Amino acid sequence: MGCLFALFSLITPRFVLVILWLFTDYLAMAFGGWLYPTIGFFVAPTTTIAYAVAKNDLSTATGSVQAAGVLVIVIGVVIDLGLLGGASRSRRRQA
């Protein structure tokens, strides 16, 4: 059961990124290109989604991210680090 949960938590943000890329221009408006979202897909998908939300919905008219947007990005980083760190912790328990 734990492996299923880990697999689901790793796939879900990537699935959301693919859906956003295929059916909306949400990522293109936030990043202005395809390179950073592609790197984010492989390295930190939750942070990539959080940055897109912060840039599109929680920014000022001049384009700078508000404090709430920074908080959303920080939460995305923490989630990504938790997903990566959780796998190493479970491997240590098994050994």
pLDDT score of 17: 93
Alpha-helix runs per DSSP H in the chain = 2-23, 26-31, 35-43, 45-57, 67-94
> According to the model, what pLDDT value does residue 1 have?
54
- What's the structural domain count of the chain? 1
Per-residue model confidence (pLDDT) at position 7: 74
- Amino acid in the structure at residue 27: L
Low-confidence ranges of the chain (pLDDT < 50): none
Amino acid identity for residue 39 in this structure = I
- What pLDDT shows up at residue 74? 94
Q: Which domain holds residue 17?
A: 2-94
**Short-list 72, 74, 54, CA closest to 64:** 54
- Start-to-end C-alpha separation, the chain: 19
Angle between helix 2-23 and helix 35-43 axes, rounded to 10 deg: 170
Residue pair 87/62 in contact (Cβ under 8 Å)? The answer is no
